[in-house]
Structure 1
């Protein structure tokens, strides 16, 4: 990556061979989600996970993919609320496979398809919008373990809420 790549206010965790890019305003829980993903990786709930960068990361489009790496001054540092800044192992870079937007205005129980993707530096990526009062960790773990995190998430037609309960009649009667 070039030394001139701009830094952005975000956190990134490498999960398996792809990065989860976590964006959101200060205090929205980026570091907390990152640490939660690392713990989930250590407990084998998701593939192995390690920090790339906390608070500020560098992004660069390369060969049609968006790559993320730590800002050198912050490499290996993560804020753990209540403990302060802690040092941990970190990955030097990874291609972004999923974007998580915390405190997202377009978050919803059943988000619109248009909210489940985002274009960054000319690269289309799957996106999870998370509301300000919602715990993002279960959503991200679900996205990483129930579907291909590199493909835009979609609702199955049979899972749309068309009736008084959460399932359509075709699921209940088939």
Structure 2
């Protein structure tokens, strides 16, 4: 799918699992590439590292690499080559500048090109990347729902 609307360039990274993309944002040095590498180790595919182009197509926001397709920075190792996905629809954003303090956080959203996209704040601990992969695989229960609603 080629972009048909104007693209916006962001300083971010992006990975995908199937057709579900995760946009990783944060200040320089916050760990965007490191989180992308962790997610890739669990099976996600890289879409873009350091620079991401996004555009709206219908009700979805799409992401792709503007250039340097298939490259990711591994701090203290170097620039690595990877087989990268061409593009993905973004289903969530990880904001590495915000630290999660809630054990079961509320569902948060942020407007991106006029679309409301779910947002996760950075979580301390080794489980964060694994939890994001599981979210990409099958979503998450609405925090307002009862656990009994999820297991009929």
* Shorter-chain TM band: 0.7 to 0.9
Alignment pair present for 1:140 and 2:132:
yes
Higher share in strand: 2
1:116-152 residue CA offsets vs partner (Å, 9 max, x unmatched): 2222111112221115x5553134134335x525xxx
Give the count of matched residue pairs: 144
Aligned to 1:81: 75
In 2: Cα distance, 1:90 partner to 1:142 partner: 20
- 1:119 paired residue among 111, 115, 119: 111
The gaps in structure 2 that reach 5 residues or longer are none
The equivalences for 1:14-163 within 5 A come to: 14-41=16-43, 49-72=44-67, 74-104=68-98, 107-109=100-102, 110-113=104-107, 116-131=108-123, 133-135=124-126, 136-145=128-137, 147-148=138-139, 154-156=142-144
1:47-71 residue CA offsets vs partner (Å, 9 max, x unmatched): xx21110011000011111000001
Higher share in helix: 1
Aligned to 1:167: none
Aligned 8 A contact 2:105 2:143 in 1: no
Question: Greater Rg, structure 1 or structure 2?
Answer: 1
Aligned 8 A contact 1:78 1:85 in 2: yes
Change in Cα spacing, 1:142 to 1:91, as seen in structure 2 (3 Å) is closer
| Larger relative contact order (CA 8 Å, sep ≥ 6) | 2
In 2: Cα distance, 1:158 partner to 1:94 partner: 31
In 2: Cα distance, 1:26 partner to 1:103 partner: 10
Q: SS of the residue aligned with 1:37? A: helix
In 1: Cα distance, 2:139 partner to 2:33 partner: 24
What's the TM-score, normalizing by structure 1?
A: 0.72
